[in-house]
Amino acid sequence: MGELVRAMTADGFVKAVAVTTTDIVERARNIHKTLPTATAALGRLLTAASMMGNMQKVDNGSITLQVKGGGPLGTILAVADADGNVRGYVQHPQVSLLEKYRGKLDVGAAVGTDGMLTVIRDLQMKEPYVGSVELVSGEIAEDITEYFVQSEQTPTACALGVLVDTDQSVRAAGGYIIQLLPGAPDEVIDKIEAGIRKTGAVTGMLDQGLTARELLERVLEGMDLEILETTPVAYKCYCTRDRVTATLISLGKKELRQIVDEGETIHIECQFCDTIYDFKPEEIQEILNNL
């Protein structure tokens, strides 16, 4: 389980959210068998999605973040619910190690910078809201910052970090998003910028074992912080046999008949988790009969 904390400054000029996602990213690594660079990229996107899903505060709402950067990792996707529970995948999880320098993964090169970050907000209305921005660096955090500035005109600081251990497991993961609300005076902005500079990389703080609340208190030191919510978050998939059946139906009668004629049990693996659904030929026949 991870922990997500949402807060606001007493003066109402700053809202902030932070999350620890070590267990979430480790679960994703185990499901998708990611190598370190893919672990870091997917982990950062899962972390961002968790915070952004919770920030929406829409019952039964969800948010999808999709990164297509043209790099060797291919498409990376993360989906979060209204609490901040999250799931995701990376198209090419086995991309070998790319490093900027020893010990520093080059996520930007693996993601690529020639492409888009697309944010799909399901706010339980007729149509989802879709916003896209061109990738700035492929490092994810800067791209999320750019999205907020361009699509939502909200000055934002976003930090995301995934620390992969020597055995390829996730040692620490998490991040924060800090946003300025209209009318924030310059001294508030200066304070935040100074706090971000002073605290340095988020992975360093996470590796020290800081909680989500402590992350915010450290970065927003000297500001009167009011904690609005503390909630557990997890890697959570919503796949069911019924949903997989619906996907099978969408293949059409011709394809389904072909499966029946081949007489083999088919195995369908969920793209988000490690659940495998088996369908025997007679079960496919039953689906056909119902059609």
pTM above 0.85, yes or no: yes
Neighbours of 145 (CB within 10 A): 20
CA–CA distances in Å: residue 17 to residues 55, 75, 160, 213, 216: 8, 26, 12, 9, 8
For 165-184, write each residue's pLDDT tens digit. Answer: 999 999 999 999 999 999 99
What integer pLDDT is reported at residue 164 of this predicted model? 96
Residue pLDDT, tens place only, 228-242: 999 999 999 999 999
Q: Which residues, 6 or more positions from 242, have their beta carbon under 8 angstroms from its beta carbon?
A: none
Beta bridge partners of 67: 76, 117
Q: Do 239 and 271 touch, CB atoms closer than 8 A? A: no
Task: Give the integer Cα–Cα distance in Å for 192 and 7.
Answer: 14
* Contact yes or no for 274/260 (Cβ under 8 A): no
Cβ atoms of 138 and 113 closer than 8 Å: yes
Percent of the residues in the chain that have a pLDDT greater than 70, as a whole number:
100
In terms of DSSP H, where are the helices of the chain?
22-32, 36-56, 107-111, 141-152, 186-199, 202-207, 212-219, 241-249, 253-262, 281-290
Beta-bridged to residue 60, according to DSSP, are: none
Q: Do the beta carbons of residue 37 and residue 106 sit within 8 Å? A: yes
Confidence of residue 7 (pLDDT cuts 50, 70, 90): very high
What is the signed CA dihedral for 22, 28, 33, 37, rounded to 10 degrees? -60
Average confidence score pLDDT of the chain: 94
- Give mean pLDDT, residues 185-198: 94
Q: What is the pLDDT of residue 23?
A: 98
SS3 32: helix
How far is residue 124's CA from residue 103's CA, in Å, rounded to a whole number? 43
Do residues 177 and 55 lie in contact, with contact meaning Cβ atoms separated by under 8 Å?
Answer: yes
- Return phi, psi of residue 139, to 5°: -85, 0
Do residues 49 and 19 lie in contact, with contact meaning Cβ atoms separated by under 8 Å?
A: no
The alpha carbon of residue 157 and the mean position of all alpha carbons in its chain are separated, in whole angstroms, by 17
| Kind plus residue range of the DSSP H or E element containing 101 | strand 99-101
Q: How confident is the model at residue 199 (pLDDT cuts 50, 70, 90)?
A: very high
- For the chain, list the domains and their CATH numbers: 2-233 (3.55.30.10), 241-290 (3.90.1280.10)
Q: How far is CA 116 from the centre of its chain?
A: 15
Neighbours of 223 (CB within 10 A): 19
74-110 pLDDT, tens per residue? 999 999 999 999 999 999 999 987 788 887 889 999 9
How many Cβ atoms from other residues are within 10 Å of residue 86's Cβ?
35
User: Is the per-residue pLDDT at 273 higher than 90?
Assistant: yes
